[in-house]
Amino acid sequence: MAGLDDVFGDIYDDVDALVLFSPSGSYYERFSAIDDDALDIVVVGTENAIGADPFVELPIEFTDVTERVRFGLEGALEQGVIEDGDVLACATSVFDGGIDTVSRVRANAEDQLGLYDLFSKSRADADVIKAVLEVAINLGKKGQKGKPVGALFVVGDAGNVMNKSRPLSYNPFEKSHVHVGDPIVTVMLKEFSRLDGAFVISDSGKIVSAYRYLEPAAEGVDIPKGLGARHMAAGAITRDTNSIAVVLSESDGLVRAFKGGELILEVDPEAY
Ligand SMILES: Nc1ncnc2c1ncn2[C@@H]1O[C@H](COP(=O)(O)OP(=O)(O)OP(=O)(O)O)[C@@H](O)[C@H]1O
Ligand SMILES: [Mn+2]
C-alpha cells in the first residue's frame, strides 16, 4: 500500500533547491545535514539570525504568502542563488508558529514584480526604504486619532526631488537632522502628515522636507485608474527622478510603492 510519502513526495520530487522561509536554527540544521549535493538550500527572512549562507533578505515579513514567496524567489534569482526555470520547494509558515507548508514553484525570471529591485537597486539605502515602508504601514494601521490619514514619502535623489517641487508651508525639518530610523520620527511624521504635500527623504534617510507639492513631468506614467492626484504625483516623481515613492492612501487605506513611474507594491496595513 502506498504511504503518504508516495503521494506528497511529488511536491519535492526532483527539486533543484529547497527555500526555507524564516526557519529556526534547529530546523535549518536538519536540512543542512541532508546528504545530497544536488540539493541547494536557500534561507529567506527579514534577518539572518541563524547565519545562513546563501541568505535572501525580505524587506518586511509579508503576511501574504504568495507575495512572500515571490519576493524571496525574485531576490534569490537576482543574487544568482537560483536560476530561471529551477524547480523549488518553498517551505514557509502560513499559520502562526513554525514552518507548516511546502509549495512547489518554478522560478520564472520573466514574472518579476520588480519588488526586489525596489529595495536592492534603488539609490536610497534598503534600510531607509524599509523604515519608510514601516512608518507608512504603522500610520495606516493607527490613522491620526482614529481617522484615516494619507501620506506621501519620496525617498532618494532628494536634490532633484526638491528641484521638481515647491513648498506648501514652512519646512519643520529645515535645520534639523532627523533620520527615518529615529524613534521620535514616527511621532513627527504622524503629526505632520495631517497637512498636505510630500515628505522628501535623502538616500541615507535624512528627512529633508515636509509639505512639498510635487510638480514632476507626468508623461509616460501609467498608474492604475481610480487613483488620484497623490498617487499620480508619486508615480510621476519616480519617473522624473531617481527616487522611489511610498504612498498611504487616505481613501482606501492601502500602502503603495512606486519606482520608475510604475506601481511595484500594494499592501494592506491591517494585514501587518
Ligand atoms: N502633486 C502633489 N504633491 C504632493 N501632494 C499632493 C499632490 N497632489 C495631491 N497631493 C496630496 O494628496 C491629497 C489627496 O489628493 P487626491 O485625493 O487627489 O489623491 P489620491 O491619489 O486620491 O489619494 P487618496 O487615496 O489619499 O485620496 C491632497 O490633499 C494633497 O495633500
Ligand atoms: Mn482621493
What amino acid occupies position 14? Answer: D
Could you tell me if the ipTM is greater than 0.90? Answer: yes
pLDDT at 9 over 90: no
Per-residue pLDDT tens over the stretch 120-149: 778 998 889 988 998 899 889 877 667 888
Q: What distance in Å separates the CA atoms of residue 157 and residue 113, rounded to the nearest whole number?
A: 22
Q: What distance in Å separates the CA atoms of residue 194 and residue 53, rounded to the nearest whole number?
A: 44
pLDDT at 3 over 70: yes
Per-residue pLDDT tens over the stretch 254-271: 999 999 999 988 888 887
The verdict on the CB of residue 196 being under 6 Å from ligand 1 is yes
Higher pLDDT residue, 255 or 272? Answer: 255
pLDDT of residue 60: 78
The verdict on the CB of residue 8 being under 6 Å from ligand 1 is no
CA 68 to chain centre: 10
Per-residue pLDDT tens over the stretch 17-76: 999 999 999 999 998 888 788 889 999 999 999 999 999 988 777 888 988 998 899 999
Closest residue (by CA) to atom 20 of ligand 1?
A: 228
The verdict on the CB of residue 127 being under 6 Å from ligand 1 is no
Average pLDDT over residues 231-259: 96
pLDDT band for position 190 (cuts 50, 70, 90): confident
pLDDT band for position 213 (cuts 50, 70, 90): very high
pTM: 0.82
pLDDT of residue 71: 87
CA of residue 231 to ligand 2 center, whole Å: 9
Per-residue pLDDT tens over the stretch 82-94: 999 999 999 999 9
pLDDT band for position 186 (cuts 50, 70, 90): confident
Per-residue pLDDT tens over the stretch 143-181: 766 788 899 999 999 999 999 999 999 998 998 889 998
